Chains A and B, each alone.
Chain A
Amino acid sequence: EIVLTQSPATLSLSPGERATLSCRASQSVSSYLAWYQQKPGQAPRLLIYDASNRATGIPARFSGSGSGTDFTLTISSLEPEDFAFYYCQQRSTWPPLFGPGTKVDIK
């Protein structure tokens, strides 16, 4: 079974800074990777699918890249509402699997 690893576990940044989050798969998932944002007490929200495609309504400051085993979610300039948890998810093999998450908090 594929294992997803996310790093760092916590990323402490200030508004306006660039955030770079990593998701690594234990074996290739091709480009079949998504990113979700979750705020406390809320449901997750799909940000990026198939590694680099923004979901409907997602601001352009969110971008995804990578293929195979190494993926990156970049937030070009953090807005106050971006401080949250971020999860990656693969759909390359069954079952769909989420990574453990990265918390982006305010420095």
Chain B
Amino acid sequence: VQLQESGPGLVKPSETLSLTCTVSGGSITSYYWSWVRLTPGKGLEWIGFFFHGGGANYNPSLKSRVTISADTSKNQFSLRLSSVTAADTAVYYCARNYVPFDYWGQGMLVTVSS
């Protein structure tokens, strides 16, 4: 299984961060599919997951700003994080499953700056 993040590396404050994870070697109609970020001050932080046929669930601290969705025809799932601030600057990872996260993408640095 391989995962690859893609999207803009620079987002302006108050705008929406959008990332896509393309999965190869496995179908997103099975397993949970997650987003995790690494911030300099806080370490790893779980953002949320998507489960085909079961919807999504999010970190309570981010829930009001996060949406995770999927496009099964492209075997991709996506992250949208609205109203971003500098505190959302991080390396964003997509991963398979949760507890545990067993396969990870290489990560994508997203910087929030004007």
A complexed with B: no
